[in-house]
Amino acid sequence: MKLGFIGTGVMGNSLVKHLLDNHHEVAIYTRTAKKAENLVEAGAMLFESPKQVADKADVIFTMVGYPQDVEEVYFGENGLLQHAKENAVLIDLTTSKPNLAQRIFQAAAERGIHTLDAPVSGGDIGAQKGTLSIMVGGEQPTFISVLPLLELFGENIIYQGPAGSGQHTKMCNQINIASNMIGVCESLIYAKKAGLDPETVLRSISTGAAGSWSLSNLAPRMIKEDFEPGFYIKHFIKDMKIAAEEAEAWGLDLPGLRLSLQMYESLAAEGYNDNGTQTLIKYFDK
C-alpha cells in the first residue's frame, strides 16, 4: 500500500521502520530532515510538506508533538484536510485533545475523508518492538479496514468508540501513569534509604501486585541514572494538562494527577524538559 507518515521523532521513526520492513511504500515528512536520514536510507521517500505526502499516500499516519502541531498538519494551508485524496484514511497517533479529534473527524467527513484518533502507549521500547497499545476512536468500519497496518507496530489494539474516544482513553492511561510514577520513585528512594540493593528489590516487587510497565521499564533506567527520553517530560506535561483540563470541565477532582503535574513542571523549570519521564526520581533524590 502507498502509505504516508508525518513526524519521525523518537517513536515515529521506529514505526516507519516497521512499515518499511513489511514492504510498504512510505512517503514521509518531518520538520527536522536529519531525523529521517536513516529512513530514507531504508527506502522511505522524504517530502517537504504534508501536502506532498497527501498527494502520494492513501493511508497517512501522523505523530507530532502538540495539539497545535496537529492543527497545523491537518488544517494548515498545506495540511492534510485540504489535500488528502477522497476516501483516504488519516490516522492521528499523537496524544492530543479529544475535541480536536472530533473537529478533524467532522471536517474530514465533509470532504469524503476518513479519520481515526489512535494514540499509543508503550514508549520507545514498545515502538521499537512493535508492541504498542493503540486506543482508537472513529468509525468502526474505518478501524477494521486499517487494522492490519496497526498490527505491524501494535499488539493491544482496541476500538473505543466514536471520534475522540481514543484520546479520552489515552487520558485514562496517562492519569494512571502519573500517580504510578510517583509510587515507583518513592519505592526506589525508600529502598536506597533502607540500605537495600534497588535492583534486587525490583526483582522481588516488579512481578508481584506492585508490578507495572513503569516499574519494569523505567525503574531500571532510574537506577542506572539513564535519563535519555523514551518519552519526553515536556510531552507528558502536555498530556497531563489535557487530562486536567477535561477533568476540570467536568468538575472532577483528580489529586494524584494534579500532584504529578506539579512535580513534573518543577523539573521542567529546572531544565529537564527534554529528558525522559524517569527523571522524576531527581525530584526525590536531592
Q: What is the pLDDT of residues 202-212, one digit of tens each?
A: 999 999 999 99
Give residue 72's Cα distance to chain centre: 18
Tens of pLDDT, residue by residue over 243-263, are 999 999 999 999 999 999 999
In angstroms, what CA-CA distances link 142 with 15, 45, 79, 146, 282? 20, 26, 21, 7, 44
| Grid coordinates belonging to 97 | 485533545
d(CA 78, CA 235): 25
Each domain of the chain, given as residue ranges in start order, spans 2-161, 168-284
d(CA 3, CA 61): 8
| E runs forming strands in the chain | 2-6, 25-29, 45-46, 59-62, 89-92, 114-117, 120-121, 132-138, 154-161
User: Quick one: DSSP state of residue 93?
Assistant: -
Whether 170 is catalytic is yes
The CATH number of the structural domain formed by 2-161 is 3.40.50.720
pLDDT of amino acid 168:
98
Q: Which of 170, 234, 282, 286 is flagged as catalytic?
A: 170
User: Quick one: DSSP state of residue 210?
Assistant: T
Residue 285 has pLDDT above 90, yes or no: no
d(CA 222, CA 185): 8
The CATH number of the structural domain formed by 168-284 is 1.10.1040.10
Tens of pLDDT, residue by residue over 180-230, are 999 999 999 999 999 999 999 999 999 999 999 999 999 999 999 999 998
Q: Over range 106-120, report the average pLDDT.
A: 98
- pTM for the full model? 0.94
pLDDT of amino acid 32:
87
| Grid coordinates belonging to 223 | 537506577
10 confidence band (pLDDT: 50, 70, 90): confident
pLDDT of amino acid 251:
98
pLDDT of amino acid 4:
98
pLDDT of amino acid 241:
98
Q: Over range 44-53, report the average pLDDT.
A: 97
d(CA 284, CA 92): 35
- 150: nearest Cα among 127, 178, 172: 127
Q: Over range 70-76, report the average pLDDT.
A: 98
- 63: nearest Cα among 76, 50, 51: 50
